Each structure stands twice: as structure tokens, then as C-alpha cells.
Amino acid sequence: MSVSSFSIPNLWTRPHGHLHQERLRREATEISRSHALPVSPEQWRERAAQLRTALHEKLLITHRLKQDLDVRIHGEIRLDGYKIQRLSFASAPEIRVTANLYIPNGSGPFPAVLNMHGHWPQGKIAARVQARGHVLAKNGIVTLTVDVAGAGERASQERPWKYHGAALAAQLYLFGDSLLGLQVRDNMCAVDVLQSLPFVNAQKIGATGASGGGNQTMWLSALDERIQAAVPVVSVGSFEAYVTRCNCVCETLPGGLPLMDEWGLLGIMAPRPLLILNALHDEPAFGYEPMSYTCRQLEEIYTMLGARHHFDSRLFDMKHGYWEQPLQAMLAWMLHWLKGESFTSPTVLPTWSPIPENDLLCYAEGEKPKSTNYAANRKTLAAQVVRKKPDRNTLVEITGWKFDETMTPKWTRKQTFSDGSHIGSILSPRAIEMPVYATGDLGIAHEIRLFLSPHGKKTTFIEKQLQKTCDAGIIGLAADLPATGELAWENAPVGEARLHDSSRACLWLGYTLVGEWAECIAAICAAVHQESPRAHIEIIAEAETSFAALIALALKPNSLITITEINAPKSLEDKCDESLAWFVPGFLQWGDLDALRAALNAEKQRKNKQV
């Protein structure tokens, strides 16, 4: 058959990305419901200990070595009643944290608060982040405000400041690490710094932050018992609600939801004092319903432990941010639990003026050491990776591969066109209808080319290739994998990263988007072989779909199937891509793309010897 041009038809009259999105949400709900509240204090203490141990392992806290903090003072600013020191410290070999330390006048010892910023690209020096340091110091509380890895003076470049999440953060997954884990480890070292200061009461340390900083507050306070009072702001929802909704990679724990929901994490902190502050007009992930659900569970835990008065939550009529109302509530909470002051009257905020951002930088332009550079930090962490021998079981585990060998996926036709081409669907192993277009009758085909793209089947690349395939007398197929084409449900990239929320949702649930694609590719090939058992299938896959195709054939070998990779990297070692689908947790511990390719070649050689 020869045709003049292709315009691939749609299976449906409107997009059906909701099929994938809703399935992910159903999975999240089912997993969340499986987590039951404890029935006794003893049961909860046992569960909390198990969670703490598991999280210390997952976040590599158990591998945190005793570190020379090497605290350095880079200068100070004297103000009315307090001063600000520009300082830095080592959190690990070749990793340095930049910070500002707000110190009240006097000899102390003062209580202290670790202040963590959220997604302010300029980090600790942003006026809204500064506010907490000024207000707390004026009330006799030392405040250490740190730059998170990838932001402020710890960015991969000096100005303009950039968002530290998305693909920049996800690269750490490949090495079996995470930005979430790095943040917790850095912040634990920040607590070490506070405890080392002679003017700080080491037994009276609190933690606070907003948005991503509130998330850091949650994780640090749960996993570090030195935190005696915590106030996470505009960050508490539920892990279930994070699935398919707004959530940063720096707030994402792969396999997190099967382990616990958010109340389980925060419950580890009980009975230490915890105040949750949220905004009424916020993103659904941190909205009233998920926050209320989490808080109800926490009330039960604190009540069970005889510490109901140690827990409180409030919802302010405001937008996302650390505004005056939460700042006032946080100050009152810290003054009560860290200084022993009364709750009887609202705390009045002192007046303060923001310091020009440049005055709070530790290093002059061009003088930052390599150890503060996030790109250099990633390489440092990557060099520490313990490589493992590539094996099938580990690949199944890290990708979340789920394929029922007894299933017989079949092609369901919707419409056949006058030229013999047809459009239909194939049911994926996770029960999603995948639109598939074929240029001719599969039953009589001896050679078939399957075209895949992370942008879906209706791309210029695929349409041109189908034209050439038909002109050569070969049957061509094009399919939409979940979250692509007619199954796409993300409206725009996040931090320039495509497939951000779909990839992140799968990670929360314990598998990967590229692993799901691999299952789908195997199902499509199995459906084709139902029609034509001896047909040779050449998979022509673009970019990250080539990664999925390699995984599919590594886990379900078939001598009748080959792969041609288009725009695929040789290695994922230095991958900093616009798509989150590449970043499979632990993949570079398992091997690399060459290990997948070698596995396919070995299988091909084995089959040839049998023949």
C-alpha cells in the first residue's frame, strides 16, 4: 500500500487523559485507606519506630557519617538588639551549606529555631524568608536560616536564581538518593551547628518553614528527636492528595504512600509539640480536605499518647505563603514551648526592615567554592554510589514492572478506513485503553514497525516515518502510551520538565512511568503477535520511550522484536533532561542504558545459538 500523506486519526472525539489520571488517584486512595490508626500507645510507638528506621534507610540518614562541621563566619551585620552572621558549614565531604544566623544581643543561652525556605529561588536572602529570622531574634530566639541544595548560593549557577526542583532534583533518584533525603541530612547538620554554639540552649530547638520549607520541617521534625517544637506552614495535606496534584520533586518520596500517609510521618513526632498552619486559598494538595484528614488522625495519636494539648492546627483566610498571621502564630508557639511564655494573649510582631539581598550573601560573586555548587554536589554524591550487578529482579523492583504473563492482550478495532488502515485500542496491564493506529491488516503482516514517542502518536516524526513505512510495503503502528497523546493530562511542564506530575505520581505509588510504559509496550507487542504470531516487530522509539522499550525487552525477551533508538543518550550518568520519565530511582546503581542493551544482545546471541 502506498499513500501520499498521513494524518493519524484520534480514537476519541476528545482527549481521555482522565483515564490515566483517575486511575492513579484511585490507586492512591486504595493505598491510603490501607493505613490504619494504631489502637494503643504501645502499638503506635512500635509502628513509629519501624517507620523511623525505614525512612532513615530510604533517605540515607543511616549512612550519615560524623562530620567536621567546619563552621566559617563570613561577616556580620549589627542591628537593633541583634545581629546577623553570614556563615557556612560542611554537611558532608565536599558539600557545603550557606546560611544566615540571627543572634539576639546577650550571652544566652537562647533557644533556637531552624528556618527552612521553600521554593524561593534566591533562598535564605528572600525578604519573606528573612522575616522569621528578624522576628524571632527580636524575641530572644536564635534563628539559623539555611539555603537548600540547588537554591540561593547553593545553586548550580550564580544569578539569575532558578527553581531547584524538577529534573535538577530528580537526577539524584538515578543514584539511589533524593533531594528530599539530601535536605533532611543537611538540616540535621544545621541542628548540629546550633547545638555546637555556646550561646544556644541545645535542648530547646524548634523548626519552621513554608511550602517546601514546611515540607522540610515535617521530615526533619519527624526524624530528628532534637527538634522540640515544629511549625510547618502551607505544606500539610496528605500524600494521597499529592498524587496527580501540585507537589515538588524535593517533596517526593519514591514508594512513600505504600509505606505511610502524611499523618504517619507527622505522627512520628508525637508527643513533641506540633502546630500546623495552612491557607484556605491554596492548591488542592494542601487544601482543607487533605489537611483536615491528616489533622484528625494526628489528634487521635496525640490524644492516645496523653498529649492532646501538644498539637494544634489552624486554617487562615489567605493564599499560599508565610504571611503575617502564620508568622504571629508561629512566634507564639515557639515562645511558649521553647521559652515557657504564656499563650494567654496574641503575640505582637515587632517591626523590622529587610536587609538588601546582596548584603546577606556569604560569598562575593565568583568566589563561591565548588562545594556549594549543586551540580558539583550531585557529582560528589554520584561518585559514592555502590554499583550492583545488573539482574532481572532488581530491574523489576526499581521500575515497578507489573506484567501478567497469562494475559492475552487483544486489539479492539473502532474504525476501519478505506485505505485499509484502522484505529482501535489495546488494554494495558494496568487497565488503561491505549489508542493504537495501524496502516494495514496485522494478520497478514510479516514485518511490522511500531512507532513510539513521549509526545504521543500524532507527531510529525511518526507521521513521516509511517509514510516511508507504507511506501516500503511494511505495516506500521503508532500508539499513545499513558500520559501521552490522547492519554495526556498535564497542561504544561513544571520547571521546564515534561511529564512531571505523571512521573511523580507513579513514584509516590511505588513504580515509575517508564516502567508502566514498558509494560504497555510488551502488551502491544503481545497483541500484535496474537494477530500475526511470526511477524518481526521493529520498535522505533524516540527519546525516553526508547528507555521503556529497552526495559520491556530486558524483562520480556522476544527474538522476533528489535529496537531502533531515536535521540536516545548513551548513558544517564549526566542526564539533565526536560522529561522526568528518565529518572528511575536506583537505575545507575543497577547499571545503565548499556547494561540494558547488553542484556538484549546476550539474549539475541542465546536465541541464535539455540537455532
Looking at residue 160, its pLDDT comes to: 80
Show which of 367, 383, 399 is a domain's final residue.
383
Looking at residue 169, its pLDDT comes to: 87
Q: What is the mean pLDDT of residues 518-540?
A: 95
Q: What is the mean pLDDT of residues 401-410?
A: 87
CA gap 95, 93 in Å, rounded: 6
What is the residue-wise DSSP string for 505-532?
A: HHHHHTS-HHHHHHHHHHHHHHHHHHH-
Specify if 479 maps to a domain. yes
What is the residue-wise DSSP string for 460-482?
A: HHHHHHHHHHHHTT-EEEEEPPT
Cell of 377: 554536589
Looking at residue 1, its pLDDT comes to: 38
CA gap 217, 148 in Å, rounded: 12
Residues 347 and 411 in one domain: no
Q: Is the pLDDT of residue 2 over 50?
A: no
pLDDT digits (tens, 9 = 90+) for 35-46: 999 999 999 999
pLDDT digits (tens, 9 = 90+) for 548-586: 999 999 999 999 999 999 999 999 988 877 899 999 999
Show which of 366, 383, 400 is a domain's final residue.
383
Phi-psi category of residue 7: left, alpha or beta, with phi > 0 → left and psi -120 to 50 → alpha: beta
What are the residues facing 146 on neighbouring strands? 99, 116
Residues 590 and 476 in one domain: yes
Domain that holds residue 94: 71-253+321-383
Look up the pTM and report it: 0.94
Looking at residue 607, its pLDDT comes to: 59
Spatial contact of 341 and 335, defined as CB atoms under 8 Å apart: yes
CA gap 279, 499 in Å, rounded: 28
Q: Is the pLDDT of residue 610 over 60?
A: no
Residues 444 and 357 in one domain: no
Q: Is the pLDDT of residue 418 over 50?
A: yes
Specify if 552 maps to a domain. yes
Residue of 593, 526, 532 lying closest to 565 (CA atoms): 593
pLDDT level of residue 339 (50, 70, 90 thresholds): very high
Show which of 333, 364, 383 is a domain's final residue.
383
Looking at residue 604, its pLDDT comes to: 65
Mean pLDDT, the chain, as a whole number?
Answer: 93
Distances in Å between the alpha carbon of 73 and those of 194, 358, 362, 397? 14, 16, 8, 46
What are the residues facing 92 on neighbouring strands? 95
Burial class (CB in 10 A: 0-12, 13-18, 19+), 528: buried
Which H or E element spans position 128? helix 127-137
Helical axes 392-399 vs 513-531, angle rounded to 10°: 110
Domains in the chain, number? 2
Cell of 346: 496574641
CATH of residue 161's domain is 3.40.50
CA gap 609, 611 in Å, rounded: 5
Cell of 3: 499513500
pLDDT level of residue 157 (50, 70, 90 thresholds): confident
Q: Which residue has the higher pLDDT, 342 or 556?
A: 556
Lowest mean pLDDT: which of 237-241, 548-552, 589-593, 604-608?
A: 604-608
Max Cα–Cα distance, the chain, nearest Å: 88
Specify if 499 maps to a domain. yes
Residues 247 and 350 in one domain: yes
Residues 238 and 329 in one domain: yes
Distances in Å between the alpha carbon of 557 and those of 242, 286, 368, 392, 545? 35, 44, 50, 11, 17
Residues 550 and 421 in one domain: yes
Residues 81 and 198 in one domain: yes
Residues 249 and 345 in one domain: yes
Residues 523 and 560 in one domain: yes
Spatial contact of 259 and 233, defined as CB atoms under 8 Å apart: no
pLDDT digits (tens, 9 = 90+) for 583-597: 999 999 999 999 999
The beta strand positions in 217-359, using DSSP E, are 227-233, 274-281, 311-319
Give 3-state DSSP helix, strand, coil % of the chain, rounded to 5: 40, 20, 40
Beta carbons within 10 angstroms of residue 31's beta carbon: 21
pLDDT level of residue 346 (50, 70, 90 thresholds): low
Spatial contact of 276 and 312, defined as CB atoms under 8 Å apart: yes
Residues 360 and 473 in one domain: no
CATH of residue 449's domain is 3.40.50.1820
Residues 399 and 516 in one domain: yes
Residue of 575, 558, 556, 557 lying closest to 567 (CA atoms): 575
Sheet strand arrangement including 72-79:
72-79, 82-92, 95-104, 142-146, 110-116, 200-210, 227-233, 274-281, 311-319
Residues 84 and 144 in one domain: yes
Map residue 39 onto helix, strand or coil: coil
CA gap 470, 417 in Å, rounded: 15
